[in-house]
Structure 1
Amino acid sequence: MFSHAKFLVVALCFNYASTTLIVEAEQNSPAAAASETASSSSVKLDLKTSFLQEEALSTLDDETAALFQFEQQSISLKPRSASGSCKIFPGDAAWPSNSTWSKFNDILGNDALIKTIPLASPCYNGAYYNNATCAALTANWTNSYLHMEDPTSMMSPVYQGLTCQVTTDPTQNCTLGAYPYYAVNVSTVAQVQLAVNFARNANLRLVIKNTGHDFSGKSGGAGALSIWTHNLKEVTYFANYSSSNSSYSGPAFKVGAGVQAFEIYEEAYKRGLVVVGGEGQTVGVMGGYIQGGGHSPLGSIYGMAADQALSMDVVTADGKFLTADFNQNTDLFWALRGGGGSTFGVVTSVTIKAHPDMPVTASTFSFTVGGNITSDNFWAGFRNYLDYFPSLSAQGIYAYWFIIKTTTGPMFLMQPFWAPGKTLDETNALLAPWFAQLAALNITFTPKTVHYDSFYPGWLASFPLEVVEKTHVATGSRLFPKQNWSNKTALDATFNALKTSAQAGLTVIGFIIDPSLKNGGNPDNSVNPAWRNTYAHILQSINWVDGDSAAIQLATRQNFTFGYMQNWRDVSPGSGCYLGESDILEPDFQHTFYGSAYDRLLQIKKAVDPNDVFFAQTAVGSENWQVVTANGLPSGNGRLCRV
């Protein structure tokens, strides 16, 4: 029971092959799928059916049934409480006993309950020490494929508390930090329901992990029970999906929460289709990505990922399993499409639109201060680039670019300039005016521009694998409003704010994108309205020295939040940022991350989760809670208590 070894083995294999299960659907509507589920065999606690019904609990003894009762039923389990108004924490008298955890595992079946053993444990003296395994882990530690296969590993270690990282010194301590205490490897909706009911009835901190990509560490929490959705991989294809109260009719996929970008892109490609997902290979696109809005290489054509959702299956805080779409549970459906993950429930699958496949052209190039390129000319060339954001986004362009510090000065890196639906000649024509300006500034380079007949092969070849486990980095982002391109003065101010950060040594990462759905209007969902009024989503990151004290780290981060990030806010008043790639210390996160949607989102949160079963840093309603950390740094490494 509680085995972790098999996950270490899987993680070190780096099997990139898709494990997605595809089902060809004869029906063309969610109602048909729902009726099929309802007609399945009677629910049993062996969990072979899709979801848990109340009558199944009657087969258990009263004490056991009380652990898993749905919320509206009276339960015999004694109320659990810790000191004050905090969630129960390991070591508290009310923490579930080992026998209770064992009983939970038995009810879940398949040894689904996993007691956390940090992924880097083989690097530390003790029962798990293995020098060869540690060396393999260290060599691949920044590879997201490694961490996505582990039930609790988080890809943002600063929010895990920087504990138990790979090391060459096995005498150090390896502690859980903000890793959850237990994780449930869910393969059925019923297991999700059992986990939600158990956590709610026992007053445990509950978190949800899909792949662990969130920049603010939402997938972890000290002393928590985690629901690991990574293995919900089933995909159903609808050749002709339609439903009432939705204007969409056409191909669609019903996608399990654990399906990742590289998997769904490939499955769509096999059918001559594309779907709107992220640029990152290993992101779980039906988890926090789509629930938080989700920007995409197809964003300037089809809008946000959340705009593609046609239906969502979700387990709510009361343990019930329901469908939210344009006809039922419409407020919840509105909230789930942009209001953030780990907040309103556990989404188990999403039905999304699919679109015809298209050719793409991608161009990569870079230039750096040094040699014949002066600093003045470098910045003049970058300033010229900003002028083209409106016209390029109008052509459907999604440009992924960086300004990086090097030993000779800043480097501009385009990786890639992404031109969906464009030929090689058309892409070269789009780039030609700016390239001519760069040449006049004595900035020369040789772009690598390649045409692909389909989206998926181009995406796979063009976007770099994301680097994770950055132990000394804080990141924030901003959506720069279209008004900043309305006149030279406003755009110069934007340019100067970006230049100030880059010259100070911060890394700047930007995207050209306009997800305003110019031809069809924007759907009524909770996506931050700032997304509909931007030509650029831009991030910046600050570093400190690995091993710096907590006091230095905190001072560095506060200077970043209230210095460099404030410079960006000053030149983009009233705008916001992308909540999935954001600064956890962002002031007034309610407006910045959610905009005018926040008040309605908070009302829905109170309605569907009045007791705050679900909590995540900077999520809707999170202002009512705080994580009490020992060193004062923002992370999940501490007890969760009401403010």
Structure 2
Amino acid sequence: MGFAWSQATTANFSSCRCFPGDSCWPAPSVWNDFNATVGGKLIATVPLATPCHSMTFNQAECDAIRAKWTVPTTHTETSSSIMAPWFANQSCEAFLPPTSQCVIGAYVQYAVDAHEASNYQATINFAKKHNIRLVIRNTGHDWLGKSTGAGAIAIWTHHMKDTEVLDYESDGYSGKALKVGAGVQFMDAFKAAHDAGLVTVGGTCPTVGMAGGYTQGGGHGLSVSKFGLGADQALEWEVVTADGEILTASPDENADLYWALSGGGGGTYAAVLSLTVKAHPDGLTAGANLTFSAAGISQDKFFDGIEAYISGLPKVLDAGATSTWLNNNDTFILSPAVGVGMSKKKLDALHQPVLDKLKKLGINYTYYSADFPSFLAMYKAMNPETATATFQIGSRLIPRTVITTKTHAFRKALQNIAGYGTWISGVSFNVSKTPHVPNAAFHAWRESLVSLVVGTFYDYQSREKNIVNQKLMTNTIVPHLSSLIPGGGYAYLNEGDPWEPKWQQVFYGENYGRLSFIKRKYDPDDLFYTWTGVGSERWKQAADLRLCKAH
């Protein structure tokens, strides 16, 4: 269940990061001096749902917080709120009784509202001097608890909002580019690019940060079949290292760090100040939605309809379109399919064989499509609002060979999985073209057509039910998918099961050894730790969540 802070003051915790209650923990006067060093930008954490608990209980404030809890901006504008609720450890939860615990607990203790490189450097130096856990946070969008940490201080990058359109020249790329600060979110970036007649690659949720875990983790989205993964767009990174040094990482300068940052996992190698990405000519973009349900038909026929959709994916994706879809036991929603630089007429033609099969099966469906003058116009009109992480997830990248040669077996796996009361989400793409400059996005991306995520509902009231669902995901649901894939398969590291037993292989593939070497080179003392991040096997979280060396 919950935990309380250790009151130990004399024990030797040299193998652990310093923790609140330890004798090494800085006194209030030390924190005050540090606050002066960073220009008054130090924020002491007050959990967002504090008004929902006894000492500060306020019914009206609590009701207002609960009403908007699943809206991403509720959390993205704070320096500490945890979107993946499991990692809050049931402390200061909005939906628990007022008498339940409300301590800082799993939340970061402090955050520095960084506006410039010197704020990064000062925070890094302070964390190292006092042996305090360090976390990099922008929006808090995170399924795996990487943007929080018990007893930690965070570099909060959210207000690093500069954007700049560039004419970029290098040996590997010559053309338009967009430089974004570490706090820039997709909608910020899309607007900045749109205003210059350009489009950049980003994800489906407009409030996710571009330069953080998204691009650093690989990054899929609605335009990747046209342009490549988010990591494929990276031209150069500006970072602060664990030594406090400001470096540029590009294919021509600190190339090994560039390679690792571009697909090797966020918050792991250095703290990013800015990212420069390719920007592409904007223009005509088609979007389409397709929905059907199990109303009036059998479960088997409903999943026959899903199989019809899956069988049509290769043709759609190979033509340069991308799609995102969602289903459970009785509803299928394609929302949307996107063709950047493609007309409605072409997108409709790509989907017509699927629609013909649905009609032949006797499945009633609704299909809508339209032309838009720009990617941003399509994104605003066709891309639905994304809620926060109310699921516990597991995932696999589904290879083309499974889609094309094991279509029925894949459909049967989806049907079995949906029987557990799950929601299933697929982002479908073709990024088989290898980027001109290699990066750490492992080869399985190039061989896959779907990133499939399965979610069981998170129960805000019962830790025990969530533990049961975690074990169901790890031990039963994900293996359903793995059984179809030679070797068990791989997963997008930003959307994997946090308890994936073979995470080094599944999340990083053939690149783990090289990534670990680069991690050691730039961060030999593991200042930058994230759950399932490269090198994290060298650390463990104790019962009270303090971070300690594993050996």
Q: TM-score range by the shorter chain?
A: over 0.9
Other-structure match for 2:270 = 345
Q: Is the aligned partner of 1:97 residue 2:17? A: no
Counterpart selection for 2:147 from 219, 231, 247 = 219
Q: Distance in 2 between matches of 1:629 and 1:416?
A: 43
Counterpart selection for 1:299 from 212, 220, 224 = 224
Counterpart selection for 1:558 from 462, 471, 481 = 471
SS in 2 for 1:225: strand
**Tell me, which stretches of 5 or more residues in structure 1 are unaligned?**
1-79, 631-637
Distance 1:547 1:169, change over 3 A: closer
Q: Is the aligned partner of 1:112 residue 2:41? A: yes
Other-structure match for 2:366 = 446
Q: CA deviation at 1:81?
A: 9.0
* Mapped contact 1:82–1:89 kept (Cα < 8 A): no
Q: CA deviation at 1:290?
A: 0.5
SS in 2 for 1:366: strand
Q: Distance in 1 between matches of 2:178 and 2:435?
A: 23
Other-structure match for 1:61 = none
Q: Distance in 1 between matches of 2:128 and 2:11?
A: 12
Distance 1:445 1:495, change over 3 A: closer
Q: Is the aligned partner of 1:641 residue 2:545? A: no
Other-structure match for 1:478 = 396
Counterpart selection for 1:88 from 18, 29, 35 = 18
Q: Is the aligned partner of 1:362 residue 2:287? A: yes
TM-score (norm 2): 0.95
Q: Is the aligned partner of 1:571 residue 2:484? A: yes
Distance 1:168 1:83, change over 3 A: closer
* Mapped contact 1:363–1:449 kept (Cα < 8 A): yes
* Mapped contact 1:360–1:454 kept (Cα < 8 A): yes
SS in 1 for 2:104: coil
* Mapped contact 2:292–2:366 kept (Cα < 8 A): no
Pairs aligned (count)? 540
Counterpart selection for 1:384 from 293, 308, 314 = 308
Higher alpha-carbon deviation: 435-444 or 421-430:
421-430
Q: Distance in 2 between matches of 1:553 and 1:426?
A: 44
Question: Pairwise mapping of residues 144-543 of structure 1 onto structure 2 (< 5 A)?
Answer: 144-167=72-95, 169-238=97-166, 240-243=167-170, 246-371=171-296, 373-405=297-329, 410-470=330-390, 473-487=391-405, 490-517=406-433, 521=435, 523-543=437-457
SS in 2 for 1:526: coil
* Mapped contact 1:361–1:422 kept (Cα < 8 A): yes
Q: Distance in 2 between matches of 1:496 and 1:378?
A: 12
* Mapped contact 2:358–2:365 kept (Cα < 8 A): no
Q: CA deviation at 1:146?
A: 1.4
Q: Output one character per residue of 1:380-438: Cα deviation in whole Å (capped at 9) or x when no partner.
A: 11112111221111111111111124xxxx21111112222222221221111110110
Q: Output one character per residue of 1:284-318: Cα deviation in whole Å (capped at 9) or x when no partner.
A: 01111111111121111111111111110001111
Q: Distance in 2 between matches of 1:153 and 1:365?
A: 35
**Tell me, which stretches of 5 or more residues in structure 2 are unaligned?**
1-9
Structure with the greater alpha carbon radius of gyration: 1
Distance 1:252 1:423, change over 3 A: same
Q: Output one character per residue of 1:472-502: Cα deviation in whole Å (capped at 9) or x when no partner.
A: x310111011222453xx2322222222101
Q: Distance in 2 between matches of 1:560 and 1:215?
A: 14
SS in 2 for 1:496: helix
* Mapped contact 2:51–2:58 kept (Cα < 8 A): yes
Distance 1:485 1:120, change over 3 A: closer
Q: Distance in 2 between matches of 1:503 and 1:209?
A: 36
* Mapped contact 2:47–2:92 kept (Cα < 8 A): yes
Q: CA deviation at 1:590?
A: 0.7
SS in 2 for 1:379: helix
Q: Output one character per residue of 1:590-618: Cα deviation in whole Å (capped at 9) or x when no partner.
A: 11111111100000001111111110000
SS in 2 for 1:447: strand
Q: Distance in 2 between matches of 1:565 and 1:557?
A: 11
Q: CA deviation at 1:138?
A: 1.5
Percent identical residues: 38
* Mapped contact 1:403–1:508 kept (Cα < 8 A): yes
Question: Pairwise mapping of residues 625-636 of structure 1 onto structure 2 (< 5 A)?
Answer: 625-629=539-543
Other-structure match for 1:49 = none
Q: CA deviation at 1:629?
A: 3.2
Q: CA deviation at 1:172?
A: 3.1
* Mapped contact 2:92–2:102 kept (Cα < 8 A): yes
* Mapped contact 1:81–1:203 kept (Cα < 8 A): no
Other-structure match for 1:34 = none
* Mapped contact 2:95–2:461 kept (Cα < 8 A): no
SS in 1 for 2:212: helix
TM-score (norm 1): 0.81
Equivalent AA in structure 1 for residue 229 of structure 2:
M
